[in-house]
A and B are shown apart, each in its own frame.
Chain A
């Protein structure tokens, strides 16, 4: 897990982005993350998979990732090169899945990020800086259990290190 500040261009979407719009169910029956990346956000923004650059940030409104438990949703976003997801709130399974696979997720209820803004995230400090608008937003605190999993680099590495939930 990269806990150095992460920065990139913001791709901004609305509320209630469901997992079918993140990665349609018809593409999820695979272990090949390149296939997931090729179809990420296909029914929401068909141009996204072509225009996203490594290090870019995905920004959304409330209840991001609602719907299915498919871990392919955060995997598709991560495989596309997105460095972190910032949303006003997250659906609970998506939030856990993202942390478990090592995709940083940042809950910021009051952000005013617009498409194309240059934004950086400092996970350790819990802040998001919008360089385009010269604004700083504070992230909601993450449960300590999740901080421990993130710090280990995801749940696989956490359990490899500790052998059990501690």
Chain B
């Protein structure tokens, strides 16, 4: 039976060959929850009668959404997580260590062929390392913490093939925004997405993460990137689809003429080429999130801003993806370059992206952001306008004070 990557990974975890449409009970390789979802998961775990984790070595808690705590309510939720981790003997990443998905990949908690459950909607990110990552809510996560299992409907798969070399200054973010425009906010609902083609095979791990990450904005259950060309620090057995696997849809895109893309307020699929929004004045530029604040993202911003300063009246805020990213950027002089250009660094974490902590925009302000969602109110103020773009576009826009193509500010 020819299988997609999703069917192969789920077959291994169901203990039998499965195909799209079947409902299966599967074992999981790891689970993760954040300070946005862990408190409810802990509450549900206890209500289920949970007294010990199915496997403490495979349960990870991360304090990243509102870190360090902005008020006493959140401080007490963080305390609840620390107490639980201590009692259960599982790993907790405390404030400033980084964003959950970055930490799961950096620390090799999720590996090729794994089935990994995250109580965060951007868990499809793990498809960048050839793993089936799926987002669930707190109660589903609690069920897996208790049993090491969950149930899933084996998804159909949409295959996306990318050809051509990206122009300088055009990135994986622009590709995924363009694909979101094509597929729409529910274009992959209940389905898996597989990315392949020579463009993808040449991508760095960081770029693959951006691609897989924003399949969440298409409603996808998971986003799997062709492991051809995937470089990891450890040996692994890649999972490839069979050549005659069955797909619900096949989409082919030549990216060689693609220009930078921007999602306009208030939906991530409201995407246009940058030429349509160039010149829109911005007040606030943010580089952050699990989508786009790794080392190569910060380097791209630094390349635009080196020796220059952000425009008067514009503030540039940066939240690195992890402490490891921040330290590497320090070592390479990237932090110094960005700070000299006027950037304000805040702790590694989610913060402004989800409106729960720091960096809230004011009424009527326009934000250009490297994050993944621009729903009304997303950053904490329903009267702000959020545009999404690549880190290079965010940096170029901060430099000139309006939405700008990095190729035109050199």
Residues of A within 8 A of B (CB): 16, 18, 20-21, 24-26, 28-31, 42-43, 62-63, 66-72, 75, 89, 91-93, 96-97, 100-101, 143-145, 154-156, 159-160, 164-166
Contact = CB atoms under 8 A, between A and B. Distances in A.
Interface string B267-306: 1000000000000000000000000000000000000000
Nearest to A23: B377
A92 B377 contact: no
Contact of A43 (B37, B120, B146, B376): B376
B185 interface: yes
Contact of A20 (B74, B123, B137, B375): B375
Interface in B124-174: 135-140, 142-143, 146-147, 149-151, 153
The 6 A-B pairs at the shortest CB distance, nearest first, are namely A97-B137, A71-B137, A63-B186, A100-B139, A69-B121, A20-B375
Contact of B40 (A31, A43, A164, A166): A31
B35 interface: yes
A26 B36 CA distance: 10
Nearest to A98: B137
29 contacts: A18-B373, A18-B375, A20-B355, A20-B377, A25-B36, A29-B36, A29-B73, A30-B73, A30-B77, A31-B43, A31-B77, A63-B189, A69-B121, A70-B37, A71-B40, A91-B189, A93-B121, A97-B136, A101-B139, A143-B153, A145-B23, A145-B151, A155-B48, A155-B139, A159-B49, A159-B143, A159-B146, A159-B147, A165-B143
Contacts of B35: 29
Contacts of A63: 185-186, 189, 219
B262 interface: no
Interface residues of B, number: 53
Nearest to A64: B186
B354 interface: yes
Contacts of B119: 69
Nearest to B350: A25
B65 interface: yes
Contact of A25 (B39, B43, B186, B380): B380
A162 to B, nearest CB: 10
B11 interface: no
Given A29-B66, A67-B121, A165-B149, 15 more contacts: A16-B267, A20-B376, A24-B355, A25-B354, A29-B73, A29-B77, A62-B186, A63-B185, A69-B135, A93-B121, A93-B136, A97-B139, A100-B139, A144-B23, A156-B47
B57 interface: no
B186 to A, nearest CB: 4
A26 B147 CA distance: 32
A71 B34 CA distance: 13
B143 to A, nearest CB: 6
A70 B139 CA distance: 10
B86 to A, nearest CB: 19
Interface in B1-53: 23, 25, 35-37, 39-40, 43-44, 47-49
A146 B204 CA distance: 39
A165 to B, nearest CB: 5
A29 B137 contact: no
Contacts of B66: 29
A89 B37 contact: no
B378 interface: yes
A121 B356 CA distance: 36
B190 interface: yes
B25 A93 contact: no
Contacts of B380: 24-26
Contacts of A29: 35-36, 65-66, 73-74, 77, 356
Contacts of B73: 29-30
B388 to A, nearest CB: 14
